[in-house]
Amino acid sequence: MGVGKIAAQVGHAVLGAYQLALKKWPINVSRWDDSGSAKIVLKVKDQAEILAIAKKAETNGLPVFLVQDAGRTQANIKD
> Global pTM?
0.72
Q: What 3-state DSSP class applies to 2?
A: coil
- Model confidence at 73, pLDDT cuts 50, 70, 90, reads low
- What confidence score (pLDDT) does residue 6 get? 84
**pLDDT for the residue numbered 34:** 96
Distance CA 46, CA 51 (A): 9
pLDDT in tens, 36-66: 999 888 889 999 999 999 999 999 988 888 8
Residue-range domain boundaries for the chain: 3-59
pLDDT tens by residue, 18-36: 999 999 999 999 999 999 9
Amino acid at residue number 65: F
